[in-house]
Amino acid sequence: MADEQQHKQLHLNAFLMGVGHHEAAWRHPRTRAQSVLDVRHFQALGQIAERGRLDSVFFADGLAVGPRIARNTLAVFEPITLLSAIAAVTERIGLIATASTTYNDPYTLARKFASLDHISGGRAGWNIVTSAGVDEAANYGLDVRPEHEKRYARASEFVDVAVKLWQSWESGSVLLDEDLGVFADPKKVHAIHHEGAHFRVRGPLNSPRSPQGRPLLVQAGSSEAGKEFAARFAEAVFTAQQSLEDGIDFYTDLKRRLPRYGRRAEGLKVLPGVVPFIGGTEAEARALESEFTELISPDYALRQLSTMLGIDLTEHALDAPLPPLPPIHAIEGNKSRYQLVKDLAEKDSLTVRELIGRLGGGRGHRTFAGTPEQLADELQLWFEAGAADGFNIMPPYLPGGLEDFVTEVVPLLQKRGIFREEYEGLTLRDHYRLEPVDGGSDGQEWQAAQ
């Protein structure tokens, strides 16, 4: 291993959404709105990220359209299906799909991820979410969204079951012995006989052990329950942090929880989000950001903000401050984002219009406008100050915003010796420098033997 690879390296995930994270991205001339319906757009993004040697690409997901259909570019593609099509045109980039533990069955979902891991040769990751939205319940026969705490309780049991299913085929269980006529060794394939409060699942999984043993487990909730869940299961955490100080607090808090679950700090990578507007000069970058801010439709943004805060702001004056907000314990949706937006508005005494502008880029994720050097400085600062093991890069417009990051910022990080020049391993788990899941991997052996 070369010397610079011994240095602590940061990790980069590209969070891809439609034609960009900025809510008005699809109206800006740097994007083609039609691309949201075109799989080739997303396949090309996967290839750009791989060219930049990023760890992974990631797709969010929600299970309802919501009331903002007129202005929302939304999710056309279901992430696992989409990532399978991206797997087919890439070789190394990790592939992280969001899926809900509230509205899925563990057997079905564990199989899907095993399948994606087989298809991609060990590049699958699962962003585990509990579906905080209010509209999702009604698509699954429920009158109201299950409570925050109950969602996380179900999520824990769900992941337990999924992990047992992925382990239900020991490594080495697939024999493919043509002479003896033995496909798999029945002694190494186990029923799991899970019986819990939420699920009864016999197993084994209907798919042999996948190349990574199981997908990378990713989590993105930052409430108390969310952090505890992350400490127990997550190998990477996406989080929204507005300031370096908040970033350090969150990072420290999360890492401190790990020993209680018998886990080491290196086993969980914290990746705060950043929405980069990149320009040749800082002024150019800021001007670009303003172009996007001006394209925001206030009525759409007001509805978005209303959903985020759980109160109706659609009739509220744009140039007034926020009305009084409910206390955090009354929030059953996305608790951590609620807190972040509340703090942001209060700290700088923002009017609603100003708040909307601040949130336009990343819905609460930090927006950064500057030169490639400035952005590299900022990322290095957070990384070395103990606020991040890497970043969730959220290009405000696509593909340009990712292309610029890869061609202008990545080489700077490489020159500074804090980001890989080449992939070191084959799997997503390798990219994140995580221990392999116990034992080898049947799939990979067969692939390697080709």
Ligand X SMILES: Cc1cc2nc3c(=O)[nH]c(=O)nc-3n(C[C@H](O)[C@H](O)[C@H](O)COP(=O)(O)O)c2cc1C
DSSP three-state, residue 307 = helix
Q: Which of residues 79-98 bind ligand X (CB under 6 A)?
A: 98
- 92 to 123, 409, 428, 434: CA distances (angstroms): 7, 20, 8, 16
**Is 102 a binder of a second copy (CB under 8 A)?**
no
Rg (alpha carbons) of the chain, rounded to whole number: 22
Taking the complex as a whole, the smallest distance from the CB of residue 338 to a second copy amounts, in Å, to 23
Q: With H, G, I as helix, E, B as strand and everything else as coil, classify residue 262.
A: coil
Which partner in a second copy, ligand X, none is near 449 (CB below 5 to 8 A by kind)?
a second copy
What is the C-alpha separation between 365 and 394, in angstroms, rounded? Answer: 9
Residue 61 counted as an annotated binding residue:
yes
Terminal Cα distance for the chain, rounded: 26
Closest CA to 205 of 170, 242, 232: 170
In 10 A of CB 305, how many CB atoms?
22
CB of 300 to a second copy, least distance (A): 8
238 contributes a contact to ligand X by CB under 6 A: yes
Site string for a second copy, 114-153 (x = CB under 8 A): xxx-xx---------------x--xxxx------------
Of 20, 52, 208, 362, the one binding a second copy (CB under 8 A) is 208
User: What stretches of 132-195 show up as alpha helix (H) in DSSP?
Assistant: 148-166
Interface with ligand X: number of residues (CB under 6 A)? 24
Binders of ligand X among residues 15 to 44 (CB under 6 A) are none
- Which parts of 42-92 are beta strand (E)? 56-59
Of 269 and 335, which CB lies nearer to ligand X in the complex structure?
A: 335
Whether the Cβ atoms of residue 352 and residue 313 lie closer than 8 Å to each other: yes
33-52 burial: b if 16+ Cβ within 10 Å, else e: eebbeeeebbbbbbbbbbeb
Specify the stretch interacting with ligand X by CB under 6 A; choose among 106-114, 189-197, 215-223, 408-416: 215-223
CB of 393 to a second copy, least distance (A): 24
Partner touching 116 among ligand X, a second copy, none, CB below 5 to 8 Å by kind: a second copy
Q: Are 14 and 56 in contact (CB under 8 A)?
A: yes
From the list 18, 221, 357, 360, which residue makes contact with ligand X (rule: CB under 6 A)?
221
Q: Is 192 in the site for ligand X (CB under 6 A)?
A: no
Smallest separation, CB 127 to ligand X (Å): 6
User: Does residue 131 have a known ligand-binding role?
Assistant: no
- 222 labelled binding-site residue: yes
Whole-angstrom Cα distance, residue 192 to residue 53? 38
397 is in an annotated binding site: no
C-alpha–C-alpha distance, residues 6 and 192, integer Å: 40
Residues numbered 368-407 forming contacts with a second copy, rule: CB under 8 A: none
Among 74, 153, 244, 318, binds a second copy (CB under 8 A): 74
Contact, 271 vs 239, CB < 8 A?
yes
- The verdict on 85 binding a second copy (CB under 8 A) reads yes
Name the DSSP letter for residue 324. P
Q: Which residues are annotated as a binding site for FMN?
A: 61, 98, 148, 152, 222-223
Q: Which residues are annotated as a binding site?
A: 61, 98, 148, 152, 222-223
Give the binding site for ligand X (CB under 6 A).
60-62, 98, 129-132, 148, 220-223, 225-226, 238-240, 273, 334-337, 392
